[in-house]
Amino acid sequence: MISRFLSFLSLLAFGAAIGFSWAVMGDKQPQSLYLLLGALLAGLAWMLIDAWRGYRVRSWLRHGDLAMAPQMSGWWGVVLDRARKLLRDRERSIDAGEQRHKDFLSAIQASPNGVVMLDANAQIEWCNQTAATHLGIHPERDVMQRVGNLLRDPVFTAYMAVEQPVEPVVMAGFRHRMERPVRISVQRHRYGEGKQLLLTRDVTMLEQAEAMRRDFVANVSHEIRTPLTVMSGFVETLQTLDLNAEEQKRYLGLMAIQAVRMQGLVEDLLTLSRLEGSPVPSSVSTLPLSRLMQACELEARGLSDTISQGTQPQNIQFEINPLLGEAQLIGEARELQSAVSNLVSNAVRYTPAGGSIHVSVDQGVDGSLLVAVRDTGAGIAAEHLPRLTERFYRVDRSRSRESGGTGLGLAIVKHVMQRHGGSLSITSEVGQGSCFKLIFPHNRWRLNA
């Protein structure tokens, strides 16, 4: 400010000097008048120049474009520098705010939960793609549409009518079908002045897991209660009736059968628990294929002799491709033994007397190892095949209990194969028998050098 004042005085002095010189050179009187006139003209020129510079600054401030800022020195130059600095700071602040806003929206878009923002009239202001997928709304087309007009599920309508809901509501999702259910949890929160926030979450897997848990507990309770009831009846009979030795032996034999049945159920449950809670089998331990087949053949023939007492025996054949005689499976030996043993035991149990059971081992065209168990049993209808590996699922419950099955064998086989990177293939036709095939990938078996 001082420099500006000094420059103004300097210009006045210069103008006065010019006016005085002009008066002296022209011999004009009074000289003081010309001195004053020169100072006034210099002051006027200074004001015009200053006003022009101020006009340029004002014009630039109207647009605020930093690239078009005029170059000036002096006091106006200082003003311009400070204005430019303030504008730069403001632009940085705006850019940072916009970036935070973009990051926030990107984070919400990436969220597995859906977000819908409603205004005071329950109109959609914004939603992420997850919510659009859950509810079947369009993130752009449905903006400013009333959410009640788009979602007409009675459960949702009743939920939106509640002033202050405490618990979320679960409703059918956009792609819900009877054969493939989709369940969505919706939670409503109020914020701002009458605005609302809807949070959606896909709970299909949770509900299925809860249903499986309930079914599992119910099935286990039922499977254990039945032999316990039988055993309790026999115990009461032995305690209250005077039975001879032959009758006691008969009742004790029946009790032993039920005890073995419960023991098998508990062992299968423990096997499933161990499979689900243990790490993936390593690639170090191996099991010779020939030894596995020999053990399963002995078990199958022993079980067949027990089942077919007094009837025509079953025809059991085990066949291994000669090129695979020295093959070894890579993985947990106990699990592999359990998988093959379960398939062979099932084939023996469900094949009638005089029927045939054929177990073969061969190599697939893709380098996989195939263990197939074929039988000539009653066969299984096509609608039951997708559910055979579910725990306790039985096509014929009464027949399964007669055969001594626990309903967990195929579930164990499926888990073992998944843990070893393989798969279980099931084909069957009513009246023609069934084929259960284990498919081991090329990295889960090898030939001895």
Each residue's pLDDT tens digit in the chain (449 positions)? 565 556 656 656 666 666 556 655 655 556 566 566 666 766 677 677 767 777 777 777 777 666 666 777 666 666 777 777 887 787 888 888 888 888 888 888 888 899 999 999 999 999 999 999 999 999 889 999 999 999 989 999 999 998 888 889 999 988 888 778 889 999 999 988 889 999 999 998 888 888 777 877 777 777 778 778 888 888 888 888 887 888 888 888 888 878 877 887 788 778 777 777 677 787 788 899 999 999 999 988 888 887 777 677 889 999 999 888 889 999 988 889 989 998 998 899 888 888 899 999 999 888 999 999 999 988 888 888 888 888 777 776 554 455 555 678 888 899 899 989 999 999 998 888 999 999 999 999 988 75
Quote the pLDDT of residue 302: 86
Please name which of 173, 171, 175, 176 lies closest in space to residue 160, comparing C-alpha atoms. 171
Q: Hey, how many other C-beta atoms are within 10 angstroms of the C-beta on 166?
A: 6
Q: CA 362 to CA 440: how far, in whole Å?
A: 11
Burial 385-412 (b: 16+ CB within 10 A, else e): eeebbbbbbbbeeeebbeeebbbbbbbb
Between CA 333 and CA 292 the distance in angstroms is 9
In this predicted structure, what is the pLDDT of residue 146?
Answer: 93
β-strands 356-363, 315-320 pairing: parallel
Residue 209 belongs to what H/E stretch?
A: helix 204-240
Nearest CA to 219 among 408, 84, 28, 421?
Answer: 408
All domains of the chain, ordered by start, with CATH?
2-103 (no CATH), 111-202 (3.30.450.20), 207-278 (1.10.287.130), 282-447 (3.30.565.10)
Task: Report the pLDDT value the prediction gives residue 340, as an integer from 0 to 100.
Answer: 92
For the residues of 61-99, what is the DSSP string, one character each?
HHH--GGGPPP--HHHHHHHHHHHHHHHHHHHHHHHHHH
Which letter does DSSP use for residue 305 in this model? H
> What pLDDT score was predicted for residue 308?
73
Report pLDDT for 23.
Answer: 57
**CA dist 169 → 88, 146, 165, 288 (Å):** 49, 19, 9, 55
Angle (CA) 338-341-343 rounded to 5° is 110
Rounded to an integer, what distance in angstroms lies between the CA atom of residue 419 and that of residue 401?
Answer: 29
**Element holding 426 (H helix, E strand):** strand 423-429
DSSP 344-374: HHHHHHHSPTT-EEEEEEEE-TTS-EEEEEE
